[in-house]
């Protein structure tokens, strides 16, 4: 997987990574026993450092023979992670590090079968497996909770990275190749194919990515950052197999590697395995992969670029993007990087920041330019700020505003409260527990460590915060001085503008055609014969049944038979509102959620619910205007979010719950303040701020539109399932292309008042406690105080003056299971869910093609099957995984060249086939049909079924954070007993059950199907009257 902008930092604006601290610290105590200078399995311990704020102990080592660096973070967390990272510094845009990242995972000396990486997904209980190519490093991480699994995966990853086969046919499949359109027919034209080739064509349909990539290339033009590490589709065909092997030889050596482990497994075992299986076979070299410092400019520079038009915008005159960027110091100066990251958040974070006020609220554009803020993933960091969605004539105006804003900040500085709010945010990030903390940490330290910075210093956030406070105390103008130094007086300044070109994709296709012609014209007859033969050979290889017996595997017997049960208490607050309490080790944090029903809301307002949710906490409330509200939310909470939900019933496909979820978190000391904010939002929300509402609408519409290239397969699936269940139409309304288009329309209205006036009408139906339930996760010690505060909040809530009728007449009252009705772990009252059903609903087939100017497709086909508690649901879940691993992966990715594809079963009983960044569309739909025929024929073994079960259970048993425990019961009414029954159904899935459900549900004419494609014009679809073209 290619990451065009590296990885985000832990603090400040981009801090969506979450930190997990537990009380127990056996792992930390064990690590503290190590002594500096101690030798273990060929490694020497260089440093042992406790980092109490993250509740971990860091152990730094180096390998004696090869100089390989190693960092172990010991922490009482059973989700253990390994990663190995290489500094990869390409000097051209052929995508060599990215294609190499794909190809090393296609077979190695010890595991020579094809594609061990994808095969291990089904032979393991991993909680994460992937690989990433950044601008200047390649990272291979995995995580698992099972010690045997850890050893298995470590063996496969080490062999892949250090001893790959790098076969020519794998390079052809993963990178690029010339091949006949139909490999079996040499009369069909030769075309470019390859997984990375298509992935990158898809990546550059995203205008934000085009802009970010050019920004980095132009601002850091001297060395590796001037090229595209993921590969430019026009340069990828220049890469040869020889060059790929050479790049591996020079970059994938232990002397150029950094090893990382995290969790509570024993360090000695990791060191022994890594040394024996890999490092003992190498000697030290001096890798020449260092990135030199970028030479600073003596005067600012400007560039203009073009991109594809925004297909959803009606106003084509306002699609220009401009930004001003400044080169900053090297990222290995930990404190300077911490300071500049915080400074960036102060400058651009939220409605109180100077650039938000000056740029976003100017009304000139639709949102900040891509890559806004501090970017610390290259050797020297940079800061960027600008606007997208502007008129070309306003470029200079935006530049002037940026210069003026810098001057104003130097003069006025920042309010103390804003700085406090930011430090409070960092404190919450250190306390909030996530389930993938190891992955967060390896990503967080990757760039700094890659350039020989100290990863341990980087993790000492407490020290950095203390140092920051000290500097502010000593010099009140500390931050203004930094702005003067790095922005005002910085000549290394780039102004980049991008405007749409209606012929952009046409020109790209033209250049690709010319490249292809050039390649084909240079071929001799012998070359062409070889291409034809190799194409057949690759197709034969891809179609062969693979012997994966060389790979290690867990067995189904390694899966826990039972799940741990979670204790829950449900009480009635204010005598009527159910509140679920779940005591968890939340580390001094309180998590509050409320769910409010939409049953009484008139149908014509439903479309506007997502917009209502996105602006509700951003327009002000009570006596607070929107700026003051934003400040209070930052000072007192870790965030307050509102989102629409369509929740399926566990036993009936035509029944669902519709509502809105309110979520928030805070430090326990701030709970009264957070609940007071919720009271004000519920009782006295402000819907008067028309200008700010316009700004929020524009930003939201732009974000939705920008998200399509990354989420096209999800939009296709939502549309394809729209007519299969009564909930499908509402899903499309809330989360589908209909919503994207509605937001674009609203954003372009000259008079937005009619939409703003709908919000108070929605509020009347939603922001009261008529149909509401709440949940709280906190530590046992916090519970009694928390109960009082939540009770007070509920008592203060409004009630409807008159009984509101539900809009849909068929409402079913359904209790969530508790002590009296099937769960011994839920105590107290019942949560009654009011579900909607439609006894007259008839599913029907619908085929939709959304025309988008992309060179790749996103394809979805959905089938209506059965609900969660039906035993067939478990069989279909295993079948989806089996079809993906044993059939669809080969057909859609390996043969078809799509970046991804497969099948999945949702909790709502909709079975989905999908493909992602796919050069094909109709052919992919045929592959879905062939997959069904394959499943019905039963051409799979017991081993295949066991592997599918392992893969399904790795998702079912994924770790759940303390903040999320009990959520299945709260939202879906699922008790642990029901989940255990479903677990037993999964264990019981057999060959007969799989062929039975394939025949019963998936065949043509069995159940209703829906189809959707997002992508370019298609002659076959255009001629077929059964398709609706949008």
Residues recognised as catalytic: 101, 174
Torsional class of 609: left (φ above 0), alpha (ψ -120 to 50), beta (otherwise) = alpha
Residue 257 host element (H or E): strand 257-263
CA atoms within 13 A on the CB side of 368: 22
3-class SS of residue 812: strand
Closest by CA to 956, choosing from 497, 367, 418, 562, is 562
What 8-state DSSP symbol labels residue 824?
A: T
Cα–Cα distance list, 705 to 39, 512, 710, 747 (Å): 55, 26, 10, 12
653: tokens are 């496909």
695: tokens are 């700004």
**Cα–Cα distance, 63 to 271 (Å, whole number):** 9
Residue 521: how many other CB atoms lie within 10 Å: 7
List all residues 6 or more positions away from 45 whose beta carbon is below 8 Å from its beta carbon: 34, 35, 36, 37, 38, 39, 59, 60, 61
Residue with tokens 């029954």: 981
**Cα–Cα distance, 536 to 531 (Å, whole number):** 9
Cα–Cα distance list, 766 to 566, 600, 644, 685, 800 (Å): 30, 8, 11, 12, 10
**Cα–Cα distance, 437 to 441 (Å, whole number):** 6
Closest by CA to 859, choosing from 896, 811, 819, is 896
**Cα–Cα distance, 44 to 116 (Å, whole number):** 32
3-class SS of residue 629: helix
275: tokens are 């040394």
Hey, CA dihedral for 347, 351, 357, 360, is it positive or negative?
Answer: positive
528: tokens are 């062409």
CA atoms within 13 A on the CB side of 534: 18
**Cα–Cα distance, 250 to 692 (Å, whole number):** 54
**Sheet of 857-864, strands arranged across:** 900-905, 910-918, 857-864, 1009-1015, 847-851, 1027-1029
3-class SS of residue 756: helix
Torsion of CA 352, 355, 356, 361, to 10 degrees: 120
What 8-state DSSP symbol labels residue 972?
A: I
Residue 411: how many other CB atoms lie within 10 Å: 8
SS (H, E, C) 426-463: HHHHHHCCCCCHHHHHHHHHHHHHHCCCCHHHHHCHHH
Closest by CA to 216, choosing from 451, 338, 384, is 384
Closest by CA to 150, choosing from 63, 81, 219, 102, is 81
Torsion of CA 82, 87, 92, 98, to 10 degrees: -10
Closest by CA to 62, choosing from 292, 274, 289, is 274
946: tokens are 């066991």
**Cα–Cα distance, 667 to 900 (Å, whole number):** 41
Cα–Cα distance list, 161 to 141, 152, 155, 249, 278 (Å): 11, 15, 10, 11, 10
3-class SS of residue 397: helix
> How many residues in total does the chain contain?
1030
């Amino acid at each position: 997987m290619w990451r065009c902008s590296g990885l985000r930092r832990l603090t400040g604006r981009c801090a969506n990574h979450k930190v997990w601290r537990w009380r127990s610290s056996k792992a930390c105590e064990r690590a503290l026993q190590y002594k500096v200078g101690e030798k273990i399995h060929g490694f020497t311990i260089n440093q042992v450092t406790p980092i109490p704020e993250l509740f971990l102990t860091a152990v730094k080592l180096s390998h004696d023979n090869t100089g390989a660096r190693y960092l172990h973070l010991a922490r009482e967390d059973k989700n253990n992670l390994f990663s190995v990272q290489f500094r990869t510094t390409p000097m051209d845009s052929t995508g060599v590090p990215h294609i190499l990242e794909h190809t090393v995972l296609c077979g190695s000396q010890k595991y020579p079968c094809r594609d061990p990486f994808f095969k291990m997904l089904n032979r393991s209980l991993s909680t994460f497996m992937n690989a990433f190519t950044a601008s200047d490093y390649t990272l291979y991480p995995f995580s698992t909770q099972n010690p045997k699994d850890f050893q298995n995966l470590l063996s496969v990853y080490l062999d892949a990275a250090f001893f790959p086969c790098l076969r020519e046919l794998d390079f052809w499949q993963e990178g690029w190749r010339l091949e006949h359109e139909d490999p079996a027919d040499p009369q069909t034209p030769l075309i470019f194919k390859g997984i990375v080739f298509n992935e990158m064509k898809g990546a550059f349909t995203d205008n934000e990515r085009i802009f970010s990539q050019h920004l980095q290339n132009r601002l850091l033009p001297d060395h590796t950052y001037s090229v595209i590490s993921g590969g430019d589709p026009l340069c990828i065909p220049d890469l040869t197999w020889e060059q790929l092997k050479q790049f591996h030889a020079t970059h994938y050596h232990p002397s150029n590697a950094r090893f990382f482990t995290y969790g509570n497994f024993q360090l000695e075992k990791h060191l022994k395995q890594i040394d024996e299986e890999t490092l003992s076979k190498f000697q030290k070299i001096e890798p020449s992969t260092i990135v030199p410092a970028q030479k600073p400019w003596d005067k600012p520079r400007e560039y203009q670029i073009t991109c594809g038009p925004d297909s959803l915008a009606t106003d084509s005159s306002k699609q220009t993007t401009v930004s001003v960027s400044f080169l900053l110091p090297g990222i290995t100066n930990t404190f300077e990087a911490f300071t500049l990251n915080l400074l960036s958040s102060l400058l651009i974070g939220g409605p109180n920041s100077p650039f938000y006020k000056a740029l976003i609220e100017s009304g000139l554009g639709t949102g900040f330019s891509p890559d806004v803020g501090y970017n610390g993933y290259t050797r020297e960091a940079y800061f960027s700020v600008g606007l997208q969605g502007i008129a070309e004539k306003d470029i200079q105006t935006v530049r002037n505003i940026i210069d003026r804003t810098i001057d104003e900040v130097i003069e006025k500085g920042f309010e103390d409260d804003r700085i406090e709010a930011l430090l409070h945010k960092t404190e919450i990030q250190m306390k909030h527990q996530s389930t993938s903390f190891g992955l967060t940490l390896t990503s967080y330290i990757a760039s700094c460590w890659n350039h020989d910075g100290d990863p341990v210093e980087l993790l000492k956030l407490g020290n950095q915060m203390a140092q920051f406070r000290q500097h502010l105390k000593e010099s009140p103008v500390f931050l203004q001085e930094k702005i003067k130094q790095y922005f005002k007086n910085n000549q290394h300044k780039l102004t980049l503008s991008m405007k749409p070109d209606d012929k952009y994709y046409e020109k790209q296709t033209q250049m690709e055609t010319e490249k292809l012609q050039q390649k084909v014209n240079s071929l001799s007859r012998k070359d062409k014969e070889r291409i034809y033969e190799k194409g057949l050979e690759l197709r034969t290889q891809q179609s062969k049944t693979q012997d994966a017996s060389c790979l290690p595997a867990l067995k189904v017997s390694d899966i826990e038979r039972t799940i741990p049960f979670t204790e829950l208490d449900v009480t009635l607050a204010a005598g009527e509102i159910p509140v679920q309490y779940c005591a968890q080790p939340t580390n001094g944090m309180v998590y509050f959620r409320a769910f409010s029903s939409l049953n009484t809301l008139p149908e014509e307002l439903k479309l506007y619910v997502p917009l209502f949710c996105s602006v509700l906490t951003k327009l002000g409330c009570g006596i607070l205007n929107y700026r003051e509200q934003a400040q209070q939310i930052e000072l007192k909470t870790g965030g307050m979010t509102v989102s629409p939900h369509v929740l399926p019933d566990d036993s009936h496909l035509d029944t669902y719950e519709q509502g809105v979820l309110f979520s928030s978190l805070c430090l326990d000391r701030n709970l009264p303040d957070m609940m007071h904010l919720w009271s004000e939002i519920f009782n006295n929300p402000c819907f008067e701020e028309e200008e700010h509402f316009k700004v929020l609408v524009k930003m939201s519409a732009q974000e939705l539109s920008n998200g399509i290239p990354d989420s096209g397969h999800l939009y296709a699936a939502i549309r394809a399932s729209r007519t299969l269940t009564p909930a499908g139409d509402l899903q499309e309304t809330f989360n589908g292309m209909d919503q994207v288009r509605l937001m674009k329309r609203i954003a372009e209205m000259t008079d937005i008042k009619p939409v703003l006036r709908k919000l108070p009408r929605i509020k009347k139906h939603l922001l009261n406690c008529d149909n509401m339930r709440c949940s709280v996760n906190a530590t046992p010690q916090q519970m009694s105080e928390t109960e009082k505060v939540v009770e007070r909040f509920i008592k203060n809530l409004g009630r409807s003056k008159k009984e509101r009728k539900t809009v849909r007449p068929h409402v079913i009252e359904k209790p969530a299971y508790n002590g009296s009705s099937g769960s011994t772990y839920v105590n107290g009252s019942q949560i009654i869910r009011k579900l909607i059903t439609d006894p007259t609903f008839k599913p029907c087939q619908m085929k939709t093609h959304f025309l988008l100017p992309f060179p790749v497709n996103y394809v979805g086909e959905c089938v209506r099957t059965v609900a969660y508690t039906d035993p067939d649901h478990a069989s279909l879940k295993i079948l989806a995984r089996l079809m993906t691993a044993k059939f669809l992966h080969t057909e859609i990715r390996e043969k078809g060249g799509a970046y991804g594809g497969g099948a999945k079963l949702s909790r709502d009983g909709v079975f989905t086939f999908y493909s992602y960044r796919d050069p094909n569309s109709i052919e992919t739909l045929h592959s879905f049909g062939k997959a069904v025929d394959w499943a019905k024929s039963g051409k799979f073994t017991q081993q295949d079924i066991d592997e599918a079960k392992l893969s399904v259970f790795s998702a079912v048993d994924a770790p759940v954070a303390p903040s999320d425990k009990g959520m299945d019961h709260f939202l879906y009414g699922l008790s642990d007993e029901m989940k255990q029954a479903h677990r037993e159904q999964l264990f019981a899935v057999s060959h007969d059950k799989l062929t039975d459900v394939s025949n019963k549900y998936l065949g043509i004419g069995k159940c209703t199907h829906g189809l959707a494609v997002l992508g370019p014009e298609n002659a076959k679809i255009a001629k077929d009257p059964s398709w609706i073209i949008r």
